Amino acid sequence: MTSADDVREIENLVRERADAVGLRQSEVLLSREHPDVLRFPLLPPTAARGRASTAAALSAWFTGYADGPGYTVHDIEADVVGDLAWCAFFYHVTGVLASGDEVDMWVRSSLVYRRIDGVWQIVHSHESVPFDAGTGQALISEPPPPIA
Amino acid sequence: MTSADDVREIENLVRERADAVGLRQSEVLLSREHPDVLRFPLLPPTAARGRASTAAALSAWFTGYADGPGYTVHDIEADVVGDLAWCAFFYHVTGVLASGDEVDMWVRSSLVYRRIDGVWQIVHSHESVPFDAGTGQALISEPPPPIA
């Protein structure tokens, strides 16, 4: 059974996540990761396990931006059964890298949460962009299509 | 609560999927998709909704291969609570395209299943490779790292 309150709680966790990125609050983001989280990140490595790997990735991410990252979430879809939940959404990342390059990127995100002792924690995350099979280039600037 | 039997059932669905790709059994693959499935595919579009879009994508995929696609799954991780399940794994695609180009690609896959009237159906799928931030190239030939 899906409870509307539970679904709203997951949607709010995604919004909390967006706010925490904007404020560079790594500790908030890490508090929502399960110690053994399995991540399929946007950038290498292909996969990573554990909260410590997330901490290192967040640190590198934030350090890489001279301005930003701006981070807004869009089109959140969520479902909950008991103590298991998933959600999918798009996020829009903007800013200026330490190198001076501007970032304006749309990313697909899927998160799986487990509620443990009453606290929702991310056990799996998958973030990506599609790529062009002809050129092999990642398609980082594709706004999400209408999918309703 | 997670039942070991339920987890095995999800793992078997992933193996069934691999077998069905190898045999080009689109009808088996489509029977496991929820009518309103939300897909984040490896290749454009960024997102797609519904079983008909999967049918079109499968048709284009199979037609694109002169030999293959070979498809093997690796490192399946799965969890189930009640009628909701998720799994994550890598798949290795090989073959020769109609263009003559050889394919040898490792892909990350995350699937979310809902059990409806006793039948597990995919409500969300996310398939991708990471990309190199420096070159913008999709990293299609990265074998999965050890993540145990």
Q: Is any Cβ of chain A less than 8 angstroms from the Cβ of B128? A: yes
| Residue A130 Cα, gap to closest chain B Cα (Å) | 5
Domain that holds residue A64: 4-128
Residue B143 within any structural domain of the chain: no
Q: What is the mean pLDDT of residues A4-13?
A: 96
Q: Is any Cβ of chain A less than 8 angstroms from the Cβ of B107? A: no
- Burial of B123: CB neighbours in 10 Å, binned 0-12, 13-18, 19+: buried
- Burial of B50: CB neighbours in 10 Å, binned 0-12, 13-18, 19+: middle
Q: With an 8 Å Cβ cutoff, are B130 and A126 in contact? A: no
b/e code A13-44 from CB counts within 10 Å (16+ = b): bbeebbebbeebbbeebeebbbeebbbbbbbe
Dist CA A117 CA A103 (whole Å): 39
- Most A CBs within 10 Å: which of B39, B110, B114, B115, as the mutation test of the A interface? B110
Q: Is any Cβ of chain A less than 8 angstroms from the Cβ of B40? A: yes
- Most A CBs within 10 Å: which of B131, B135, B137, B139, as the mutation test of the A interface? B131
| Long-range CB contacts (within 8 A, 24+) of B8-17 | B9/B80, B9/B120, B10/B78, B10/B80, B10/B85, B10/B87, B10/B113, B10/B120, B11/B76, B11/B78, B11/B87, B13/B113, B13/B120, B14/B73, B14/B76, B14/B78, B14/B87, B14/B89, B14/B111, B15/B73, B17/B73
Residue A140 within any structural domain of the chain: no
Nearest to B47 among A81, A85, A108 (CB): A108
Q: Are A126 and B110 in contact (CB under 8 A)?
A: yes
Higher local confidence (pLDDT), A54 or A2: A54
Interface ipTM above 0.85? yes
Nearest to B130 among A41, A88, A112 (CB): A41
Q: What is the mean pLDDT of residues B113-142?
A: 96
pLDDT band (50, 70, 90) for residue A16 = very high
The β-bridge relationship of strands A119-128 and A33-40 is: parallel
Its sign, for the CA torsion A33, A38, A41, A47, is positive
Residue A20 within any structural domain of the chain: yes
pLDDT band (50, 70, 90) for residue B1 = low
Q: Is any Cβ of chain A less than 8 angstroms from the Cβ of B79? A: yes
Q: Quick: pLDDT tens for A93-127.
A: 999 999 999 999 999 999 999 999 999 999 999 99
Interface A-B: count of C-beta contacts within 8 A? 155
Sorted by sequence, the CB contacts under 8 Å of residue B89 that are 6+ apart come out as B14, B73, B74, B75, B76, B77, B109
Q: With an 8 Å Cβ cutoff, are A90 and B126 in contact? A: no
Nearest to B126 among A43, A108, A142 (CB): A108
The continuous run of DSSP H or E covering A35 comes out as strand A33-40
Instruction: Kindly tell me if the per-residue pLDDT of A45 is higher than 60.
Output: yes
8-state DSSP, B140: T
Count of domains observed in chain B? 1
Residue A148 within any structural domain of the chain: no
Q: What is the CATH number of the domain that holds A40?
A: 3.10.450.50
Dist CA B12 CA B61 (whole Å): 23
Q: Quick: pLDDT tens for B13-51.
A: 999 999 999 999 999 999 999 999 999 999 999 999 999
Per CB-CB distance under 8 Å, the chain B contacts of A106 are 46
pLDDT band (50, 70, 90) for residue B148 = low
The pLDDT value recorded for residue B145 is: 80
Residue A97 within any structural domain of the chain: yes
Residue A35 within any structural domain of the chain: yes
Nearest to A79 among B84, B138, B148 (CB): B84
Residue A85 within any structural domain of the chain: yes
> What are the distances in angstroms from CA B19 to CA A131, B22, B24, B96, B121?
26, 5, 9, 18, 17
Residue A142 within any structural domain of the chain: no
Nearest to B45 among A47, A136, A145 (CB): A145
Q: With an 8 Å Cβ cutoff, are B42 and A131 in contact? A: yes
